[in-house]
Amino acid sequence: MHLSPLLLALLQQPAAPSLPPSPVVKVEITPAGGEIQIGQTLQLSARALDAGGQPVANARIYWFVGSDNGEVDSTGLVTAGYAGPLRVGAVAAVLGTQGQQINFAVYRILPEPPARVEVTPAPSKVVVGTRLTLVGTAYSAHDDARHDPVSFTSNTPRVASVTNDGVLRALAPGRATVSATAGPVTRALAIQVVANTVARVTIEPAATSVRTGDVVRLTVTAKDAAGRPIPGVTAAWSLEAGSGAADLDPDGTFVGELPGTYTVTAAFGTRTADAVVTVEPRRVTRGIEVRAHLPIKFSTAEVWVHPSGACAYLSTIADRVYAIDIADPTHPKIVDSMLTNARIVNDVMTTEDGKYGVFSREGASDRKNGIVVFDAADPCHPKPIAEYTETVSGGVHSSYVYQGRAYITDDATGSLRVIDIRDPYHPREVARWQTEQTEAGRYLHDVMVVDGLAYLAYWNDGLVILDVGNGMKGGSPESPQLVARAKYDLNATYARVEQLWGAGFVRGTHTAWRHGRYVFVGDEVYAARPYKGLLDGNNLTFGRMHVIDVSDLLHPREVAWYEPTDGGVHNVWVVGDTLYLGNYQGGARVLDISGELKGDLLREGREMSWMLTADSTGKRPHTPFAWGAVVRDGNILVPDINSGLWILRLEPKAEQTP
């Protein structure tokens, strides 16, 4: 939660028995709720009331937001940034008295009007007798999914009729235009209906046996009486009910999420064919060994292993970065540290050759945050040599070092800054890039750069991909260029969190990791209520990992997801066909990501192993809160906010029986 230092001080100030109690017993906010359009403003007012319901004349009001999709200034002026519930709080306090009162109001930020409608499936040619259910979804100009009703009509219903809610029936040969309309926008589908000359339908493979999570691409062929294929016609695919749990796309792509026997049918009018898919359990479970645990009395954050493998750097939610000797991973030991002016040191990472490194800073007492560059030539004894604060004094949450540049996040503006560190003693900014929708609620959380492409976890804006040297869009480190974005409906995904914790929960795209054809995108979700327990690290988080297929970089699309039942997805690391992640209160998790990915990875049984990173030692005993994972030489380094550094190792894969 991003609360102002002033508000944090108010909420966390120690009791002062010598002061009289505050006369304020209630805070009243006007208006107490309502709706705001993205980009609009709303002026709020607040009154501090005493026990008799009378205004307290000398009370001061402090405003803050409890969700990251809008802003409120010191006068109570709200600016709506992104769609969803905006929770605004007002604190009333009287100087010279003990205590304060807080109240919240929730405003629903509405997305911009519909700008386009997408329809699935979108057939262009069908045979007489075909029946398809079309699904329409409206999107705003900034790719927010809207929940407007989409109505369907046909301009030639004798050829192809369609119900208002999208049930299409091909009735006679000819051409028709089927329109999907949401508000002021319409998507038109030109559909050709041809005579049904289908005599035989076949599906390949007709029978197959797979494991849960294995993707089967079924192909269907329609032939006429002479045995000639009929090209271009769309089949209606269906799955027999009651056979388990599976996902079937309109193009015949199947994945079984639970074991069972599934019958898949493809139909061209009255002509059909079946395929039978037998799905067995995935059986990928492996044990996990605790090789070492190094308790830390500070809250720990990120870990990074020096390229030499000799030392690891462990950042803290405090003023230091530890250097830890891991030459013997069963006996890690702190050998040095780098102290800095900060309340949070989040990311730490070295250059590819290990000569230099960068760590980020937030909460400096002199308000000069930014990044620190350090000399890592002696891996276990790093030395700070320079800092960059000029344009990022508001704080840097995350950074990524790639080919002589540090790609860093700017807390104050929600922008990406590119810092040239090729002369590490004189870092300088060479580029800035940001999303265009609004600054209110804009927040860039994390960055990864692979093959000249930057993958940005952009909170309300989803995944953003930039060309920073790949060349596909003419980009460079000095001139980042937009490649694509993948924005998903955060509000719909976490509606259950809102039901549990009230409107205004904090949620957003938190991390992004490119591996092969996929980007693994994790969300961070936690309750917005600012009371003791949640502010000091209460282990109550949620979050889904979205699997985004970027095999077509210009058109990224979500194909799978993983959502633990006992925690949130924080930072991830991928090696080969295995994904490692910090699950916050769920500890460390390991997932099998072999093969093509589709559907619900948890239900498919792709969890391989887990470990609750907690014991009686550390800053907060018996309370796991795993931040992430870094893998080196088979060793899994897991920093836990509450208990320090863990070093784990997976058991070898079991031998396959013939």
DSSP 253-281: EEEESSSEEEEEEEEETTEEEEEEEEEE-
Kind of pairing between the strands at 151-154 and 288-294: unpaired
**Residue 504, pLDDT score:** 65
Domains in the chain, start-ordered, CATH in brackets?
Answer: 5-110 (2.60.40.1080), 114-194 (2.60.40.1080), 200-280 (2.60.40.10), 288-650 (2.130.10.10)
Measuring CA to CA, which residue among 12, 1, 2, 8 is closest to residue 62?
8
User: No. of H helices and E strands in the chain?
Assistant: 3, 58
CA dist 514 and 520 (Å) reads 6
pLDDT of res. 243 = 66
pTM for the model? 0.93
DSSP string, 581-593: EE-BTT-EEEEE-
Which residues face 589 on adjacent strands? 581, 610
Distance from C-alpha of 584 to C-alpha of 613, rounded to nearest angstrom: 9
pLDDT at 531: 44
Q: Tell me, what DSSP letter sits at residue 20?
A: P
- As given in the structure block, the two tokens for residue 187 are 């998507």
CA dist 388 and 368 (Å) reads 9
Cβ-based neighbour number of residue 205 at 10 Å: 13
pLDDT value at position 537? 43
Sort strands 506-515 and 518-526 into parallel, antiparallel or unpaired: antiparallel
Q: From the first residue on, what is the mean pLDDT of each consecutive set of 10 residues in the chain (658 residues)?
A: 42 61 94 93 96 93 90 96 92 90 92 95 96 96 91 98 98 98 97 97 96 97 96 95 84 96 95 96 96 94 96 96 97 97 95 98 92 97 97 95 98 96 98 92 96 97 97 97 95 84 80 97 80 49 94 97 90 97 93 97 96 90 92 97 96 70
Whole-number Å distance between alpha carbons of 576 and 253: 24
Q: Are 358 and 447 in contact (CB under 8 A)?
A: no
- Euclidean distance between CA atoms 40 and 82, whole angstroms: 11
- And the tokens for 417? 């800054």
How far is Cα 216 from Cα 248, in angstroms, rounded to an integer? Answer: 10
pLDDT at position 602 = 96
Q: Is 262 exposed, middle or buried, given 0-12, 13-18 or 19+ CB atoms closer than 10 A?
A: buried
Residues with Cβ within 8 Å of residue 289, at least 6 apart in sequence: 648, 649, 650, 651
Rounded to the nearest 10°, the torsion over CA 519, 524, 525, 528 is -150
d(CA 643, CA 316): 12
Task: Assign 28 to helix, strand or coil.
Answer: strand
354 torsion bin: left (phi>0), alpha (psi -120 to 50), beta (else):
left
Residue 17 pLDDT:
61
* β-strands 125-127, 185-194 pairing: parallel
Contact status, residue 484 vs residue 463, Cβ threshold 8 Å? no
For 336, counting Cβ atoms within 10 Å of its Cβ (0-12 exposed, 13-18 middle, 19+ buried), the class is middle
pLDDT of residue 353: 97
For residue 496, the model assigns a pLDDT of 83
Scan for tokens 């502010």, then name that residue. Answer: 535
Q: Establish whether the linkage from the previous residue to 31 is cis, with ω within 30° of 0.
A: yes
Q: Which of 400, 353, 361 is CA-nearest to residue 384?
A: 361
* Residues 33/107, Cβ–Cβ less than 8 Å: yes
Of 397, 544, 526, the closest CA to residue 462 belongs to 544
Q: Write out the two tokens for 95.
A: 């100087």
> Which contacts (CB < 8 Å, 24+ apart) does range 367-371 have?
367/393, 368/341, 368/393, 369/342, 369/393, 369/394, 369/395, 369/396, 369/411, 370/396, 370/408, 371/396, 371/399, 371/406, 371/408, 371/419, 371/427
